[in-house]
Amino acid sequence: MSRSIEQIERRRALVLLAPATLWTVLFFALPFGVMAVISLGDGAAVGRSPAGYAGNYLRFLNSPEFVQAFVNSLEITLTVTVLSVLLAYPLAWIVAEEIPARYRRLALALAVLPFWTSYVVRSYAWSLVLAKQGVLNDGLEAVGLPALALGNSRAAVVIGFTHFFTMLLTLTIYSSLVQLPPNLRRAAADLGAGPVAVFRHVVWPMTLPGVAVGAFLTFALCIGDYVTPQILGGGNDLALPQLVMLQLGRAADLPMASALSIILMAAVTLAYLLTARFMRAVR
């Protein structure tokens, strides 16, 4: 009995898919499920959450400090996303359009070189720059400007994040820009459109999907980050990941930590759905 070609191909495909799928199920989906189940459980021995399956989530909603941390995370992340796009787009555009082809890759490489310092150390370096007697204030005072109290604050966290994500977005927006077919722009120019109009009606709409994906990536990475707020925040305006680590480390409250993480995931999923819908609308 001979098998049809499709059956052979399907069996082959399944064999090829097996390792990746098994890994994702075993080490991603399953742990996530375990965490979700644990988040429904009771907290540390002294049951700080109300009883019942939704206990930890109810505690989240009823605790101003948890809700505030969530709001902080959202505010910081949205600010960082907008700022990073605003800073990265012109840079990507200049590198893609204005810089001669020979130096383009070098310019891009230079723009993202600090990527290669350790993430932890880079945040620490910002704390040195923004300290009360740090480099920034020394520079400001040298030119006669008043010193800024940026250290240990939400501003410092936003600056640290924006620094990282500007570099990331420069990469993604640049690759979006260079993939544009040049004929479209030439055609628009031939039809009499000035450079601003070409940008508004051709370049921007066509790079929008790339920007949207980059922005979503920024949102997802930024809202879940623990290192930068911990190093630059000085214990002010706590973000949600910091509260998760607090529950994990000090309170040994694994169920609450799990519940908070799931709430974080929900925010990212919502952002994903919004981005997907936006991309469909734009296309």
> Which 176-215 positions form the footprint of other proteins (CB under 8 A)?
none
The single residue listed with the structure tokens 């940026």 is 150
Q: Is 252 in the site for other proteins (CB under 8 A)?
A: yes
In angstroms, rounded to a whole number, what is the distance separating the alpha carbons of residues 218 and 76? 12
The residue within the footprint of other proteins, chosen from 3, 7, 12, 186 (CB under 8 A), is: 12
Which one-letter DSSP state was computed for residue 91? H
| Candidate ranges 19-27, 173-181, 184-192, 204-212; the one touching other proteins (CB under 8 A) | 19-27
Which span (75-83, 115-123, 182-190, 201-209) binds other proteins, by CB under 8 A?
A: 115-123
Rounded CA gap, 167 and 134, in Å? 24
Give the angle 260-217-195 at the CA atoms, nearest 5°: 145
85-114 binders of other proteins (CB under 8 A): 87, 90-91, 94, 98, 105-106, 109-111, 113-114
Quote the tokens at residue 6. Answer: 């499709």
Q: Which of residues 32-71 bind other proteins (CB under 8 A)?
A: 32, 34-35, 38, 44-46, 48, 64-66, 68-69
- Contacts with other proteins by CB under 8 A: the residue count is 97
With contacts defined by CB under 8 A, name the span among 77-85, 128-136, 172-180, 181-189 that binds other proteins.
Answer: 128-136
Q: Which stretch binds other proteins (CB under 8 A): 13-21, 173-181, 185-193, 197-205?
A: 13-21
Report if residue 270 touches other proteins, rule: CB under 8 A: no
Q: Does 151 bind other proteins (CB under 8 A)?
A: yes
Count of alpha carbons within 13 Å of 32, Cβ hemisphere only?
A: 11
Provide the b/e sequence for 162-198 (b: ≥16 CB within 10 Å).
bbbbbbbbbbbbbebbeeeeeeebeebeeeebeeeeb
The Cα angle at residue 115 between residues 109 and 120, in degrees rounded to 5: 170
Among the listed residues 180, 268, 278, 279, the single contact to other proteins using CB under 8 A: 268
- Interacting span for other proteins (CB under 8 A) from 76-84, 178-186, 198-206, 253-261: 253-261
Which of 44, 206 has the CB closer to other proteins? Answer: 44
- Helix (H), strand (E) at residue 244: helix 240-249
| Minimum distance from residue 25 beta carbon to other proteins (Å) | 9
Residues in the chain: 283
- Answer for which of 77, 152, 176, 207 binds other proteins (CB under 8 A) is 152
Q: How far is the CB of 169 from other proteins (least distance, A)?
A: 12
Binder of other proteins out of 52, 204, 272, 277 (CB under 8 A): 272
Is the Cβ of residue 113 or residue 197 nearer to other proteins in the bound state? 113
Under the criterion CB under 8 A, does residue 4 sit at the interface with other proteins?
no
Instruction: Calculate the CA dihedral of residues 106, 111, 115, 117 and round it to 10 degrees.
Output: 80
Cα 36 to Cα 19: distance, rounded to the nearest angstrom: 25
Q: Which residues within the stretch 229-248 sit at the binding site for other proteins (CB under 8 A)?
A: 231, 234-236, 238, 241, 243-244, 246, 248
145-146-149 Cα angle (round to 5): 135
Distance CA 118, CA 130 (A): 19
